Structure 1
Amino acid sequence: MVIVSPIFHSTGFALWGVGTALGNKTVVMRRSDPEKTLAALAEHKAEVLVAVPTMLHRMLALGPDVIKKYDTSALRIIVIAGSALSPALSEAVQDTFGDVLYNLYGSTEVAVASVAQPKELRLAPGTVGRPPVTSRLALFDDEGRRISGTNVRGRLFVRNGAPFEGYTDGRNKEIIDGYMSTGDMARFDEHGLLHIDGRDDDMIVSGGENVYPLEVENLLAEHPDIDDVAVIGVDDDEFGKRLRAFIVAAQDANPSPEDIKAHVKANLARYKVPRDVVFVDELPRNPTGKLVRRQLPAGPL
């Protein structure tokens, strides 16, 4: 087992504990390095890799010529958690390493809420799958009413045997009928698989229309000239809010703002097209790979 997720992160710590309890050989890395991770997998003939999506993205960015130098044929499981898995990355990982990807979704507050298996990620790339044993999921609207139906978005709540007891300042998460809020918006597709559409407080209201940044980000992540992307809402005199996209261009690529806007316009509703496109060298992320949106400039350009 090779663990490149931070051990202070619940996934890294939990799987290190499981590996230790089972007497597995576990390789941990002080710092994440994509090629050193491949080398560790090959050297130790590791069957399990524990990582976050950003680390997998950087491994794939090494390119096929570098990746094929290392024998990863022993790899049977790649476990990821900690941040959103885009459909494009989901497909790219399994095309490169085989159908071995498991996408865990949960939080410190609600523990593990759902898990997507490799076949489910092939069926619906980017899904977080289904709840494991003892976990129950429910969607509620803003009035606390239960939501059902296919691809109907609602606030995701979880009920299981390992919820937290509250924050140290005395606050707690909202609880409805024993289900605890995750703070995420989600939907179930026609296969009964769960999809996370973003944080409920990330929603942008532009000209009276609701936009979830993750939908636009996932679309732009599929663009061959884009290496990384983030979308936020910024103040706008006419629409209240407008979308601003921050783009990290792929190596040797030189997309224009018009290219970015045209790609969104061709695939999504017009009101989801970013009016601002800003090119940056990198995006602010925390140690587990989560995008830190508050560090992106929202003022005048």
Structure 2
Amino acid sequence: MLTRVLLTLVKAGVIRPLGPRGLAATASGYLHWNITLAWGYQTGAGRHPERAAIIDDDGVLTYAEVDERTSRLAHAFRAGERIGLLCRNHRGFIETLTACTKIGADAVLLNTGLSQGQLAQVAQDQEIDRFVADREFADLLPDRPVIFTDGLESLVLNGPDKPLPRRPPRGRLIILTSGTTGTPKGARRPEPASLAPAAALLSRIPLKHGDVISITSPLFHAWGLAAFQLGLVLGATLVLRRRFDPEQALRDAEQCTAMFVVPVMLQRMLETPLRPKLRIIASSGSSLPPKVATRTLEEFGPVLYNLYGSTEVSWASIATPEEMIQDPGTAGTPPLGTRLAIVDDAGKPVAPGETGRIFVGNEMLFDGYTNGTSKESLDGLMATGDLGYLRNGLLFVAGRDDEMIVSGGENVYPREVEDLLSQLDGVTEVAVLGVEDEQFGQRLVAYMVGDESLTADQVRDHVKANLARFSVPRDVFFVNELPRNAAGKVLKRQLRENG
């Protein structure tokens, strides 16, 4: 295993010959900060000080500048305090998070789509001491001290140029769950103990040292955060924008080698005429519709990689372009050092092709929710909360285990119906969910965005011709758009409530 990790890191250019300055920065950074964001930027400042680290709406910052600026900013925080970080994709997010690691403060990454009531509840649940926030969210913040990100520059310029404590206490990094089924929970993310987690992703996604990476997915989300952390390991240049605009993202991509997206963003970029040449498009955060995968591969070439994971397990599997060409609905295979099991309700492995509960083991399983609960475990593996099956060695995700419905005594998976309906000509978005039914116990309801000439009967006939009769949605609604959170996930709870 160690040999494979080292070979992967060498192939990606993470491990390579260093000059005296780079070697000294790497060693002293490790001794000072351990393997943290702070170590990453000090290493970068020694190995490639003038390389652009961040390009955003405010300009360019080099690795040397980010290292110095975050050391000055760290003096504005206190070891042990808990910072709620509420901002869009820009340097302020990265600099604040890095400064927290340099002083030993906790950081809670907040979804920019939270309501005022949700923010108040999260602030109480997560015991947030103060916020660092974009000023646009001022009216939503609860009664806590706040530093607005447009004031960070002053803190950096006026911050003292004096040493920070060596090996500060490890601050906690807390990510909120999506909240698609209720109030978001806080998930404690572990600090990587080595570069093995980076090697796991690099074993399936061939990023290289010095890549220029556009991160369109929100940094507060596990996928955007992973892109940032992996980019730092690679000494990459990160391109960030406060707000996602499909044409701007594709114009940025003309200067990039890789792009990290969530599926709904990829879908909207496909609606524009721009087709820059990228070596990698990495997608995650929600299910990737097969039609979107196929069209991306056709129009951008064999550059699409799809990661299946969650806030709690980090990653489970990654599909390569070749695997999605073979079957665009696949979630691929587990990367280096990852174990996967599909089991029945009794915890016994199911046969290939049979649907069961997905359990995953890797080095980045979360440390539990901040409310003291956790995910179910089995022989060192953690439940993803999803159902799936293996076919020809590839993983396929059937959907959430709490979304499976029983209609007339038959198990029905909404994800299967969504994938089928999304392939209809003119359909851009689909959400299928279960509701109570007096006769059958539960029934399916479909919400569709796209071709206005399509009728409910045509939709039902299409499902009837391809799936079992209990998979046919009783009700079909045509809507202008689906409600989504800031990370692009469909809010099925909201659809059900507004039914």
Match of 2:262 among 52, 58, 65: 52
Distance in 2 (alpha carbons) for counterparts of 1:245 and 1:298: 14
Task: State the distance in 1 between where 2:289 and 2:357 align.
Answer: 20
Question: How far has the Cα of 1:298 moved from its partner?
Answer: 5.6
Q: Within the alignment, does 1:257 sit opposite 2:456 as a pair?
A: yes
Q: Which moved more, 1:282-291 or 1:178-187?
A: 282-291
Give how far 1:204 is off: 1.0
State the SS of the aligned residue for 2:236. coil
- Counting helix residues as a fraction of each chain, which structure ranks higher? 2
Which position in structure 1 is the counterpart of 2:219? 7
- 1:1-301 alignment, distance < 5 Å: 1-42=213-254, 44=255, 46-62=256-272, 66-67=273-274, 72-73=276-277, 75-147=278-350, 149-190=351-392, 192-250=393-451, 253-297=452-496
Amino acid corresponding to residue 217 of structure 1 in structure 2: E
CA-based RMSD: 1.4
Residue range with higher mean Cα deviation, 121-130 or 11-20: 11-20
CA distance in 2, matches of 1:18, 1:163: 17
Q: Which amino acid aligns with 1:12?
A: G
**Cα deviation digits, residues 235-289 of structure 1 (max 9, x gap):** 2111111111111124xx4211111111111111111111101111111111221
Deviations 1:122-155 (A, max 9, x none): 11112111111111000111122222x3211100
Q: Whose Rg is larger?
A: 2
Cα distance between partner residues in 1 of 2:363 and 2:270: 37
Residue 252 of structure 2: SS of its match in structure 1?
A: helix
CA distance in 2, matches of 1:164, 1:225: 40
Give yes or no for contact 1:247–1:279 (8 Å, CA) kept in 2: yes
Query: Contact conserved, 1:140 with 1:156, CA < 8 A, in 2?
Result: yes
Q: Shift of residue 67 of structure 1?
A: 2.4
**Structure 1 counterpart SS, 2:460:** helix
Which amino acid counterpart does residue 228 of structure 1 have in structure 2? E
CA contact (8 A) 1:213 1:232 kept: yes
**For residues 298 and 205 of structure 1, what CA distance do their matches in structure 2 show?**
20
Is the CA contact 1:225–1:254 (under 8 Å) kept in the aligned structure 2?
no
By percentage of residues, which structure has more strand? Answer: 1
> Any conservation in 2 of the 1:184–1:196 contact (CA below 8 Å)?
yes
Q: 2 CA distance for matches of 1:201 and 1:32?
A: 31
d(CA) in 1 for partners of 2:360 and 2:230? 23
Post-superposition offset of 1:37? 0.9
8 Å CA contact 1:127–1:195 kept in 2: the answer is yes
State the alpha-carbon separation in 1 of the partners of residues 329 and 496 from structure 2: 28
- In the TM superposition, structure 1's runs of 4+ consecutive aligned residues that sit over 4 Å from their partners are none
Shift, 1:23, TM fit: 2.7
CA distance in structure 2 between the aligned counterparts of 1:258 and 1:95, rounded to whole angstroms: 31
SS at 2:436's partner residue?
Answer: strand
CA shift digits 1:206-261 (9 cap, x unpaired): 111110100000000000131111111112111111111111124xx421111111
The answer for unaligned runs of 5 or more in structure 1 is: none
Moved more, 217-226 or 284-293: 284-293
What secondary structure is seen at the aligned counterpart in 2 of 1:295?
helix
- Residue 112 of structure 1 aligns to a residue whose secondary structure is coil
Q: Aligned partners of 2:469, 2:233: CA distance in 1, in Å?
A: 53
Give identity over the alignment, percent: 49
Q: Deviations over 1:38-77 (max 9, x none)?
A: 11112x2x11011000001111123xxx225xxx12x000
Between the two proteins, the alignment pairs up a number of residues equal to: 287
